[in-house]
Structure 1
Amino acid sequence: MKDTKKVVLLPLDERPCNFKFPYQIFDSEDFIIDRIEPLGDKKIPADVSEVSRMLKEKCKDADIAVLAMDTLLYGGLIPSRLHHFTKEEVMERLNLLREIKSQNNNLKIYAFQCIMRCPKYSSNDEEPDYYEYCGEQIHQLGNAIHKEKLGISSDYNREELLSKIKKEDLEDYENRREFNRSFNLEVLKLAKEGVLEFLIIPQDDSAPYGYTAMDQISVRKEILENCLSDKVIVYPGADEVEMTLLSRAMNEVMVKRPKVYVKYASVHAPYLIPSYEDRSLGETVRYHIMAAGCIQVDSVSEADFVLALSAPARKMLEAVTQPASNADYDVERNLTEFVYAIETYISEGKPVTIGDNAYANGSDLELVAILNQKELLLKVAGYAGWNTSSNTIGTALAEGVKYLYYGSNKKHMEFLLLRYLEDAGYCGFIRKEITEKELPALGMNYFDIKEQNGVVSELVKKYLQDFADTKLTSITKHILIEDIKMPWRRMFETDITVSYR
């Protein structure tokens, strides 16, 4: 990179995937990531006034800004579903970006704003309190309403569902959706005016029909009517988007559009609709690659790097159910040939980044075992296998982009170690083990482990060390687990500090 670039990053929230991963991958001497902090704490929003003040100050001399609009407008991802702000208050924060751009016209602003999700289960862990008793019914109602509008029969009876949801709760939910959707449309105006260089509108936990899908239609209509398709894209995702936009920014600074060849473990995988998503994997991958400022190509020879995806043939299962002894994974997916190809590409000098999206919410432990046996774990340009398929793909692509320009170094190795420990060790195995075998005796449960740093953190560290010693044998000598935290005091995510030695 010819000149040092200052990049202001406003994360989606304080979880490691949003606050740490982008920094760990991209921060360097000539691409300096300046994060805005402190943020909130799960349902407690960030101080939006202080966020606005810091953003304005930091952007005065910045070259690039990557912004989570949900943090700027509402204080974070979860607070975006719970807030009681007026439209006037939120509009004032939105207008701040017009002011910032006018004061620093050379600043390139890359932003993203989620379409509010509608989970299919009843839980108030990340939603309003009433979602605990009627979340599943609200999701089903959205499906019924959407299909009714389209003239399609639904499996759910609208009137029956309405009888199970309190009127005031449904009004609150639908009003929140209308409020947030109105600001999805307001943010589009920033793209049209040229305030935003590029905008992603990701769908968190999406589905083909329902409230979220209907909101997507409204947003798409506005994009088409204003000819914004080259500046605004809509696709499944959320927690990986900061990394995607940093990839795009880095590629534009480097004046390069990297060519990416996609290698699937199954010829049927491109047609699979991944869990928690609303469209085929093949189409979603093309969105991710384009959003990252890259282009998909049809041959390995013309590619700058390879994105290797481990997805099954048809139905994607949860990582806790593995090994999946069925045709989708064992017959119509050729994992042996998949790793053989990865090994071949690497031996020929072609960088390979692995998006291990065989399962939702964790790595494919069989794949990790083969990579370990063949001593490929630290020879890849990237690896990810966490949460949704889109989270995994966006992370793996970001690693590939950074590797393309900077190659392998200590930070690269440490992020790989982190992914194997967290995605394979914790998400793929340990999370379930501790939840089932340890928490009951401690008087805790999956959603409440009381503290960020305590007895559960120590258990996770102990289990992770054993996993490293027994399952990551080819690289365990390089792994130094320094600290473990449980950021939201629950089992879903963890915060691992690991060093490469």
Structure 2
Amino acid sequence: MSVPTRRIAGLPVDARPVVREQVQLLVSKAGWDLDMPAPASLGHLRRPAERDALAAWLENAAAGADALVLSLDMLVYGGLVPSRFIDDSLANLSDRLDLLTRLRAAHPHKNIYAFAATMRMSNNNVNEEEKLYWSDYGMAIWKWSYLSDRHAQLGERADGDGAERAAAAIPLAVRQDYLATRERNLALTVQALDLVAAGVIDRLVLPQDDTADFGFNIAERRMLEQRIAAAGLADKVLVYPGADEVMHTLCAHLVASADSTRAPLAFYLHCSDPANVGALRALYEDRPVLDAVRCQVVAAGARVCERIDDADIVLAVHTRGAGQGDWAMQRPLPDPVDIDPAWIEAMTAWHSAGRPIALVDLAYANGADPAMLGELAQRLPLAALSAYAGWNTASNSIGSLVAQCVLERGNATDKEMLTLRLLEDYLWQAVLRQAVRLGATESDFDPARLRQRVDQVFRAHANAWAAANGLGYEVTDITLPWDRTFEIGLRLKRTA
């Protein structure tokens, strides 16, 4: 007799393939279904989703699901990006959050997992995903935020003076509007904490989206952590860097915790630059990168072990120096160190001995380290990796990779997800996207022509590279989910 497939009803942060269909693919490999709304119903970049329709979909889907994993940013604001500027009142948004209480009453024994990002502090003047005034005052708002909080924590007069100068460069109306939006969003997060205390939400992640070590958002984090501790909720509420990867993480935790016969997956950390990695703080994050690794492992229901003999899988952590580069912002590595051949030799030996190897590539934000992958491929075929990630922020990469390992128990026999990540994170983000950006200005192309241009640059090269590396898949279709080159959607088919 066949065992019925278990089902999760989910709301992702938006419709991008990396946070929706790729998570569905991973969950399916664990023998579960992840049911999510169609992409067209999840909004588009700045355009919020139709939230009333999503609420109706969720109430219907919950009836046939074993558990729920929900982005509260999608449920309440219509998406992660709209959460930063949508002008709904706190009362209206609270009404949308009340759906969780009704779902709990209707399904008292089903797990409800949820996540809600702390509103990010973007350190540039790009308003594509922010309030429109960010193009004029974004950097000033970031400085005001960072220096105000650092002054409050450390008491340095120079920080206080700098905060005053930054604030003076921002019109009063803009400052008031920005703080009011933060205050409203924080109030919704506190309400979500209250739902955990009331037993409505079983597990809540509050990821810190695009942050630094000080700022208005870090002050909010400290307040939330104090409330969590005071309420005794530390075993149910987690706060750490990330955002886009949390659907992966919570699905992995849910699936892993449903199987009481298996011990938590054990990761052995193998760092490429041990001399620097302990002090390395990744771009857009508020803590050392190894702390972020441990947060993500715990969040997915796994553990870090100290001895290779106790490990289920090797987690190879690649960094190069005391700082990160950034492909999206076209920043080179600030102080690159050579890649240690012994790091690669150890992975080769472990692979020969039958140990799975998962590689998280953190030398750069927003893309891979081509130099490292080139050296690795000479000793260990890239197709031999169990998992790989090098996209967006460090915690986006870490969390999605750890979740994949947990869902596949570290033994990925099918290379579809590995191929997707290598083609997107390495070949697209770090190599061919850079060629497209050098050759043309994106704003000069309408969406159809931009997609055609990307297809011309990418598809043949990608398929030749995938074949040369024995990955067993080829690209059949390319999309630009948000009509820009920062994200890419790939359809693959098996070739071997």
Tell me, what secondary structure is at the counterpart of 1:248? helix
The aligned amino acid for 1:500 is R
Gaps of 5+ in 2: none
Offset, 1:253: 1.4
The residue identity in structure 2 corresponding to 1:329 is: V
* Corresponding residue of 1:17: 18
- In the alignment, the residues of structure 2 paired with residue 372 and residue 357 of structure 1 have an alpha-carbon distance, to the nearest angstrom, of 17
Equivalent pair of 1:263/1:309 in contact (CA under 8 Å): yes
User: Conserved in 2, the CA contact under 8 Å of 1:372 and 1:473?
Assistant: no
Is residue 166 from structure 1 mapped to residue 162 from structure 2 by the alignment? no
CA distance in 1, matches of 2:126, 2:332: 27
Alignment match of 2:70 (pick from 67, 70, 78): 67
TM-score (norm 1): 0.92
CA distance in 1, matches of 2:390, 2:204: 25
Structure 2 residue aligned with 1:500: 494
**CA drift at 1:449:** 4.2
Superimposed CA distance per residue, residues 347-398 of structure 1 (whole angstroms, 9 cap, x where no aligned partner):
2222111111111110111222234334522222111111111111011112
Matched, 1:266 2:273: yes
Question: Quick one: distance in 1 between partners of 2:3 and 2:332?
Answer: 49
Q: Distance in 1 between matches of 2:471 and 2:63?
A: 45
State the one-letter code of the partner of 1:51: L
Paired residue for 1:189? 194
CA shift, 1:319, in A, is 3.6
State the identity as a percent. 28
1:76-475 to structure 2, matched below 5 A, reads 76-150=79-153, 151-155=155-159, 157-255=162-260, 256=262, 257-267=264-274, 268-319=276-327, 328-330=336-338, 333-334=339-340, 336-374=341-379, 376-404=381-409, 407-409=412-414, 413-437=415-439, 439-440=440-441, 444-445=442-443, 449-451=445-447, 454-468=448-462, 471-472=465-466, 474-475=468-469
Is the alpha carbon distance of 1:476 and 1:298 closer, same or farther for their aligned partners in structure 2, counting shifts above 3 Å? closer
User: CA–CA distance in 1 between the matches of 2:404 and 2:278?
Assistant: 22
Q: Is 2:43 the counterpart of 1:27?
A: no
Distance of 1:182 and 1:3 partners within structure 2: 41
The 2-side partners of 1:379 and 1:117 are apart by 37
Q: Distance in 2 between matches of 1:2 and 1:297?
A: 33
Query: How far apart in 1 are the matches of 2:471 and 2:453?
Result: 21
CA distance in 2, matches of 1:158, 1:407: 50
Letter in structure 1 aligned against 2:33: I
Instruction: Give the secondary structure class of the aligned counterpart of 1:157.
Output: helix
**Cα distance, 1:140 vs. partner?**
0.3
Q: CA 1:498 to 1:326, structure 2 compared with 1: closer, same or farther past 3 Å? A: same
Q: SS of the counterpart of 1:122?
A: coil
- Asked if structure 1 preserves the Cα contact closer than 8 Å seen for 2:269 and 2:315, the reply is yes
Superposed displacement of residue 220, structure 1: 1.1
The 3-state SS of whatever aligns with 2:248 is: helix
Give the drift of 1:483.
1.0
The CA deviation at 1:477 is 7.4
Give the secondary structure class of the aligned counterpart of 1:233: strand
CA distances 1:15-46 after superposition (whole Å, capped 9, x unpaired): 12212221121125830111123210111101
Mapped partners of 2:410, 2:370: distance in 1: 30
Q: Aligned with 1:488: secondary structure?
A: coil
Instruction: Name the CA distance, whole Å, in 2 between partners of 1:350 and 1:394.
Output: 21
Change (3 A) 1:153 1:425: farther
Equivalents in 2 of 1:368, 1:24: separation in Å?
25
Deviation string 1:69-121 (CA, Å, 9 cap, x unpaired) is 10011000011011121222211221111111111122111111000011111
Q: Could you tell which deviates more after superposition, 130-139 or 151-160?
A: 151-160
Whether the 8 Å CA contact 2:282–2:324 is kept in 1: the answer is yes
Shift of 1:308: 1.0
Partner secondary structure for residue 146 of structure 1 = helix
Residue identity opposite 1:36 in structure 2: P
3-state secondary structure, aligned to 1:277: coil
Following superposition, the deviation at residue 472 of structure 1 comes to 4.8
Contact 1:372 1:472 in 2 (8 A): no
Q: Which whole-Å CA distance do the structure 1 matches of 2:157 and 2:401 have between them?
A: 39
SS of aligned partner of 1:45: coil
Q: In structure 2, how many angstroms separate the alpha carbons of the residues matched to 1:159 and 1:91?
A: 34
Distance in 1, matches of 2:471 and 2:225, equals: 50
Cα deviation per residue 1:268-314 (whole Å; 9 max; x = unaligned)? Answer: 21321011111111111111000000011101111111211101231
Task: Indicate the SS of the match to 2:301.
Answer: coil
State the 1:186 CA deviation: 0.7
Deviation at 1:225, TM superposition (A): 1.1
Between 343-352 and 296-305, the greater mean CA deviation after superposition: 343-352
CA separation of 1:294/1:317 partners in 2, compared to 1, >3 Å: closer, same or farther?
same
Judged with a 3 Å threshold, the aligned counterparts in structure 2 of structure 1 residues 223 and 152 are, in CA distance, closer, same or farther, namely: farther
Amino acid at match of 1:263: H
How many residues matched? 487
Q: For the Cα contact (< 8 Å) 1:190–1:196, is it kept in 2?
A: yes
- Offset of residue 162 of structure 1: 2.4
TM-score, normalised via structure 2 length: 0.93
Q: Distance in 1 between matches of 2:139 and 2:320?
A: 27
Alignment root-mean-square deviation, CA = 2.2
Q: SS of 2:221's equivalent?
A: helix
CA offsets, 1:184-226, max 9 Å, x none?
Answer: 1110111112222211100111111111111111211111110
Q: CA deviation at 1:241?
A: 0.8
Which deviates the most, 347-356 or 121-130?
347-356
Unaligned runs of 5+ in 1: none
Amino acid at match of 1:126: E
1:321 Cα offset (Å): 9.2
